[in-house]
Amino acid sequence: MLSRDVTQPIRNFRLKFEYPSCDECDVELWLNTAIQRQVERIELHSRITTLPIGILTCASLVVLKLEFLIVDRILTVHLPALKTLYLMRVVFAEDEYLGMILSGCPNIEDLQINYYSYFGLEFSPLAITFRNLIQMKLSVYDCKWGLLVGLLKSCPLLQILVIRKEKKSASVLDPLNQCYTQTVSGCLSSHLRACTIKNFHGADVDIQFAIYILQNASLLKKMTICCSSSSRKGDRFEILKKISKVARISTTCELLFE
């Protein structure tokens, strides 16, 4: 890489390793070399590497996929060309770092996050607008439905929403009260086509969120509820009854239970 003609671009850079076979200084050197050569796609999978902060100000970057990394020492994020962002099991040294990264990606279209603490409560989704976001997939350990409703209001063109809950949450911790649901986000009223909720436990607040989508997503084509594998057959039937009897605002919406 270092001996390559500096006028020749590097469009794609992919590095994957699970054991300490690479020195972090080498990884940072390779990545900075790719950045200097107008890299457009970076995929980095490592269980030991701290994310080089130079990636977060790469103006040419269109696709960024990170897995099993540590994010620390963020000062600024500016990714104006980024359209696809995957953050899979990324560890943030500070809760607000995730919000900083998302705030620096104004043109994101495809967002996937697998995170164990829903954005950190330091992050306010309402402060960010994703004007081009079409598809969002979230896998979260503690799913705060109220925060998610707020996030939807920041995604006016969202068409596909997939959520996976990693554990059962007590409904009393995060009620869907009027401060979240009194206004309907633009994506629900005019763009959302498909919604999937995985590992659905059927707590009251879970059902309230599913009903909120069904009652407000006027163009929804498909709503899929994937019940938790630990759910009993009787519990699943009760969930089905409660959600099925809800009047859907979309007359063409198909409701699926798996």
Please report, in tens digits, the pLDDT of each residue of the chain (258 residues total): 878 888 889 999 999 887 666 777 888 889 999 999 999 999 998 876 788 888 999 999 999 999 988 888 898 999 999 999 999 988 888 877 888 898 899 899 999 988 654 444 444 554 678 889 999 998 876 656 766 777 788 888 999 999 987 665 544 445 555 544 556 667 887 899 999 999 888 888 888 889 889 999 999 999 999 988 777 777 788 888 889 888 899 999 999 998
One-letter identity of residue 66: L
156: nearest Cα among 134, 176, 138: 134
3-class secondary-structure state, position 140: strand
HSE, side-chain direction, 13 A CA sphere, residue 221: 7
Read out DSSP for 77-92? ---TT--EEEEESPEE
pTM value is 0.84
3-class secondary-structure state, position 191: coil
From the number of C-beta atoms within 10 Å of its C-beta (0-12, 13-18, 19+), residue 249 rates as middle
Strands 110-115 and 91-92: unpaired
End-to-end Cα distance, the chain: 48
